[in-house]
């Protein structure tokens, strides 16, 4: 019965806020207020909700909501936490992979927690919350139970994890998602120069990802570095340098060295 009383406030109106609002309302947690520094942005997001009221004021002491979700960039967290004013029974929650739970402590916060969804969110792209793993952490058992309950309604996969573990998880996510995407961007630029469509590498990329999950990423590796083919590696690096792609040449060399060290730990590097 206690859970039925959950009411949420979303602080921030960016990518995560956009989807969290929809997710919370879909599991019956009403979002009563949306905060943004810009009243217009708060209004835009609030319009997507059943009943949320937009605001640009961080004094929330008069509200009856209990879950306050900070959906703001990591580097703004400490400053916002020091300015925010909350009702006495509020739980202040952030969704960052790298910020520790201790970043939420101030004189007005007693119960704090983290609800970290392992997914990349963009306003333009719909997400399926049930398929997104969620990692939770809380200041105390009661708060943990409450956050776990919300997370389990949102997602099929919920884990308790501490701040240090979450930081390492976030690093893995950056490697697997942000770095892979950056390499796709570099590849797309080269393809564009060759007047080939980006979609030409889609079958290769899809099979690479599928194979890694089929047989394991270690087993799935192929290519010149996996063969320790120093001649081809040097040829590729030289070509990149001649094309004036110095940064990409360094990147190519660094990643190739990492692959060689993984499979040939006792070999001399090129
Ligand atoms: N997006 C993802 O894929 C993703 C995935 C998992 C977790 N997260 C976590 O979710 C949190 C939010 O990320 P996001 O991607 O939603 O960020 P975002 O799209 O950049 O949106 C950030 C929001 O915070 C506001 N903001 C920025 N600085 C502020 C300040 N000093 N005071 C008050 N509001 C401020 C921005 O308002 P203005 O528009 O006025 O600048 C904007 O509404 C981060 O902790 C991130 O690590 C994100």
Q: Are residues 73 and 157 in the same domain?
A: yes
Task: State the distance from the centre of ligand 1 to the C-alpha of 243, rounded, in angstroms.
Answer: 38
pLDDT (tens place) for every residue of the chain, 270 residues total: 444 589 999 999 999 999 999 999 999 999 999 999 999 999 999 999 999 999 999 999 999 999 999 999 999 999 999 999 999 889 999 999 999 999 998 877 789 999 999 999 999 999 999 999 999 999 999 999 999 999 999 999 999 999 999 999 999 999 999 999 999 999 999 999 999 999 999 999 999 999 999 999 999 999 999 999 999 999 999 999 999 999 999 999 999 999 999 999 887 665
Say if 120 falls within a structural domain. Answer: yes
Asked if residue 203 and residue 102 are part of one domain, the reply reads no
Query: What are the residues facing 116 on neighbouring strands?
Result: 135
pLDDT for the residue 5: 85
Residues 96 and 177 in one domain: no
Q: Is the CB of 54 under 6 A from ligand 1?
A: no
Is the same domain home to 117 and 240? no
268 part of a folded domain = no
Q: From the alpha carbon of 37, which atom of ligand 1 is closest? A: 40
Q: Is the CB of 34 under 6 A from ligand 1?
A: no
Q: Please identify, among 132, 161, 190, the residue that sits at the C-terminal boundary of a domain.
A: 161
Q: Which of 161, 193, 213 is the last residue of a domain?
A: 161
For the Cβ of 96 lying below 6 angstroms from any atom of ligand 1, the answer is: yes
- Structural domain containing residue 72: 2-161
Q: Is residue 203 exposed (0-12), middle (13-18) or buried (19+ Cβ within 10 Å)?
A: exposed
Q: 153 and 82 in one domain?
A: yes
Same domain as 139, residue 201: no
Q: Are residues 156 and 133 part of one domain?
A: yes
Domain boundary among 137, 161, 185: 161
Question: CA distances (Å), 186 to each of 193, 224, 232, in order?
Answer: 11, 18, 19
Return the pLDDT at 267: 72
Residue 30 in contact with ligand 1 by CB distance below 6 A: no
33 with 116, same domain: the answer is yes
| 127 located within any domain | yes
Q: Quick one: 152 and 179 in the same domain?
A: no
The CATH number for 61's domain is: 3.40.50.720
Give me the long-range contacts of 217-226 (CB less than 8 A, separation at least 24).
218/262, 221/259, 221/262, 221/263, 223/259, 224/256, 225/255, 225/256, 225/257, 225/259, 225/260, 226/259, 226/263
Of 143, 139, 138, 8, nearest in space to 69 by CA: 8
Does the CB atom of residue 21 touch ligand 1 within 6 A?
no
Give the nearest ligand 1 atom to 120 CA. Answer: 3
Q: Which residues contact 258 (CB under 8 A, 6 or more apart)?
A: none
Residue 80 CA, closest ligand 1 atom number:
32
- Which of 73, 79, 115 should be mutated for ligand 1, with most atoms under 8 A from CB? 73
Ligand 1, pocket-test mutation among 36, 42, 71, most atoms within 8 A of CB: 71
């Amino acid at each position: 019965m206690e859970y039925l009383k959950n009411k949420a406030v979303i602080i921030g109106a960016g990518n995560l806020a956009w989807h969290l609002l929809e997710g919370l309302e879909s599991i019956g947690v009403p979002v009563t207020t949306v905060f943004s520094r810009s009243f217009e942005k708060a209004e835009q997001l609030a319009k997507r909700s059943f009943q949320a009221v937009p605001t640009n004021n961080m004094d929330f002491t008069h509200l009856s909501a209990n879950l306050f979700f900070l959906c703001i960039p990591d580097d703004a967290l400490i400053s916002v936490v020091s300015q925010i004013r909350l009702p006495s029974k509020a739980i202040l929650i952030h969704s960052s992979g790298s910020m520790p739970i201790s970043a939420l402590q101030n004189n007005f916060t007693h119960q704090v927690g983290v609800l970290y969804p392992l997914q990349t969110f963009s306003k333009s792209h719909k997400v399926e919350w049930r398929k997104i793993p969620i990692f939770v952490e809380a200041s105390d058992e009661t708060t943990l139970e409450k956050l776990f309950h919300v997370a389990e309604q949102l997602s099929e996969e919920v884990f308790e994890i501490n701040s240090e573990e979450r930081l390492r998880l976030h690093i893995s996510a950056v490697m697997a998602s942000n770095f892979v995407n950056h390499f796709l961007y570099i590849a797309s630029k080269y393809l564009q120069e060759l007047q080939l469509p980006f979609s030409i590498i889609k079958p290769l990329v899809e099979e690479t990802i599928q194979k890694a999950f089929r047989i394991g990423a270690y087993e799935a590796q192929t290519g010149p570095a996996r063969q320790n083919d120093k001649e081809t590696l040097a040829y590729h690096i030289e070509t990149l340098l001649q094309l004036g792609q110095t940064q990409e040449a360094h990147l190519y060399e660094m990643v190739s060295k990492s692959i060689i060290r993984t499979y040939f730990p006792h070999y001399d590097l090129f």
